[in-house]
Amino acid sequence: MRIGTPRMLSVLFAGSSVPREVRLALTISMNLATLGALFGKDWGKYKVIFGVHLDDLPGMKLVRPLTVRRDKVDIWLLRGTLSPA
């Protein structure tokens, strides 16, 4: 999914390095025990990691106060883990 800026903001930031589009991504990862649990098998402890994040934002301008030196950064809006207690 991509999110763009309104036309008025795009015109204002035309000469700057501010991105005009941002990519919103959903990430889901799981281990093999999770697939076994879906089919009723006991293959050990299952674990599902999920999240929603914005990808490839300009890192130097965004996190300069934190002294992180990267060209692109991801910002997690939501991140979680599902596992048995």
pLDDT tens-digit map of 17-50: 556 667 788 999 999 999 898 899 999 999 999 9
Amino acid at 27: T
**Residue whose pair of structure tokens reads 């929603």 in the numeric block:** 52
Looking at the structure of the chain, the number of domains it has is: 1
69 domain-assigned: yes
Compute the average pLDDT of residues 66-79.
73
**Amino acid 38: pLDDT:** 85
8 domain-assigned: no
**Amino acid 68: pLDDT:** 54
**Amino acid 5: pLDDT:** 60
Residue 71, domain extent: 23-82
**Amino acid 28: pLDDT:** 93
Q: Please tell me the distance from the alpha carbon of residue 82 to that of residue 48, in angstroms, as a whole number.
A: 5
15 domain-assigned: no
- Residue 50: DSSP 8-state: E
Helix (H, G, I), strand (E, B) or coil at 55: strand
6 domain-assigned: no
Q: Between these two residues, 9 and 77, which has the higher pLDDT value?
A: 77
